[in-house]
C-alpha cells in the first residue's frame, strides 16, 4: 500500500483505524472535541459521508481495547484487514503524521507550514482547526454551491492557491462579471471570522459581486450562511492592528 497513492477509501479507513486505536487520546492529540466533530471534519475533508468514517471506526473497535463493542458480530472486511495489518502497531505520533499527509490538500506544504507555526505559541496549529478553516469548509461549499439560488447557472473555479482575496470564482455565460466567494469555517453555531487586508480590500472593490460563505457547527451538523457584499451586510467588522516583530537571520558570505 503506497501512502502516496492512497485511494479515498483507504484514507477513510486509516482515519477510522486511528480513531478506534487511540480513542479519546487520539481525538485530543489532533484537536477534536468529540467523535462526531472528527467524523464531520474528516469526512468533509475527504469528500465522503461522515457516517462512512464512523462505520469504519466501528468495524475496527472489536480489534482494539476501547469501551465500544463496534461491529463485533461480523467479520472484518478484507480491505479493512489490509489497513489494519499494516498500521495496527504504529504509535500515535507516527500514525497522525500519516493521517495528516493523507488528508491535507497540499500535504508537503501544509505540514511544513504546520511545523513552522509551532514555534509561535499564539498561533492555532491543531490539525482539526486547520481542516475546518481550510478544505473541510471549502469541500462543503463545492458540494453545496449548485443548490444555492444565487449561484444557479454558474460554473466554479478554485482560486484558493492564487492568493487573490477569495477562494472560488463563479462565472456564467449569462453574466458578464464573475462572482467571488470567500469560504470561512467555524466549529460552533456562533463564533467569529476574520478577513485579511487583501480579502477586505477585494470585498470593498467588488461590492455586490463578493460573497462570504460561512460553514459552521462542525461539532454537530454543519450548516451554512451566505453574506452578499459582506462589508455592507449584518456582519460587523472591526479593524485590529497587530505589531509584528520580524526575526531575520544574517550570515556573512
Q: 155: which residues sit within 8 A by CB, 6+ positions away? A: 170, 171, 172
Summarised one tens digit per residue, pLDDT across range 68-84 is: 888 888 889 999 999 99
Please give the mean pLDDT across all residues of the chain.
Answer: 89
The reported pLDDT for the residue numbered 143 is 93
Residues 40 and 218: beta-carbon distance below 8 Å: yes
Contacts of 65 (CB under 8 A, 6+ apart): none
Residues 36-47, mean pLDDT to the nearest whole number: 94
pTM of the predicted model, to two decimals?
A: 0.85
Distance set, CA 31 to CA 14, 27, 99, 126 (Å): 17, 6, 13, 5
pLDDT score of 88 more than 80: yes
Specify whether the CB–CB gap between 101 and 107 falls below 8 A. Answer: yes
Top-ranked range on mean pLDDT: pick from 58-67, 182-191, 207-216:
207-216
Query: Domain limits of the chain?
Result: 8-103, 129-232
CATH architecture of 129-232: 3-Layer(aba) Sandwich (3.40)
43: its cell numbers: 469526512
Residue 124: the pLDDT is: 47
pLDDT band per the 50, 70, 90 thresholds, residue 117: low
The three-state DSSP-derived secondary structure of 128-187 is HHHHHHHHHHHHHHHHHHHHCHHHCCCEEEECCCCCCCCCEEEECCCCCCCEEEEEEEEC
Backbone angles phi, psi at 208, to 5 degrees: -65, -10
pLDDT of residue 200: 96
d(CA 97, CA 38) in angstroms, rounded, equals 16
Q: Check: CB of residue 197 under 8 Å from CB of residue 237.
A: no
Amino acid at each position: 500500500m503506497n501512502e502516496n497513492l492512497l485511494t479515498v477509501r483507504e484514507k477513510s479507513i486509516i482515519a477510522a483505524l486511528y480513531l478506534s486505536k487511540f480513542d479519546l487520546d487520539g481525538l485530543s492529540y489532533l484537536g477534536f472535541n468529540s467523535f462526531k466533530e472528527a467524523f464531520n471534519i474528516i469526512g468533509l475533508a475527504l469528500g465522503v459521508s461522515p457516517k462512512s468514517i464512523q462505520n469504519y471506526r466501528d468495524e475496527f473497535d472489536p480489534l482494539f481495547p476501547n469501551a465500544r463493542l463496534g461491529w463485533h458480530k461480523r467479520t472484518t472486511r478484507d480491505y479493512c484487514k489490509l489497513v489494519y495489518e499494516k498500521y495496527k502497531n504504529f504509535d500515535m505520533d507516527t500514525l497522525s503524521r500519516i493521517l495528516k499527509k493523507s488528508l491535507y490538500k497540499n500535504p508537503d506544504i501544509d505540514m511544513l507550514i504546520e511545523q513552522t507555526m509551532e514555534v509561535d505559541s499564539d498561533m492555532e496549529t491543531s490539525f482539526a482547526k486547520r481542516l475546518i478553516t481550510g478544505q473541510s469548509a471549502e469541500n462543503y461549499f463545492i458540494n453545496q454551491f449548485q443548490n444555492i439560488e444565487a449561484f444557479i447557472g454558474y460554473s466554479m473555479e478554485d482560486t484558493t492557491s492564487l492568493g487573490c482575496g477569495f477562494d472560488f470564482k463563479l462565472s456564467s455565460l449569462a453574466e458578464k462579471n464573475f462572482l467571488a466567494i470567500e469560504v470561512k469555517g467555524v466549529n460552533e453555531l456562533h463564533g467569529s471570522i476574520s478577513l485579511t487586508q487583501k480579502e477586505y480590500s477585494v470585498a470593498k472593490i467588488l461590492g455586490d459581486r463578493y460573497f462570504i460563505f460561512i460553514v459552521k457547527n462542525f461539532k454537530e451538523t454543519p450548516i451554512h450562511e451566505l453574506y452578499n457584499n459582506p462589508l455592507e451586510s449584518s456582519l460587523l467588522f472591526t479593524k485590529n492592528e497587530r505589531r509584528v516583530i520580524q526575526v531575520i537571520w544574517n550570515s556573512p558570505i
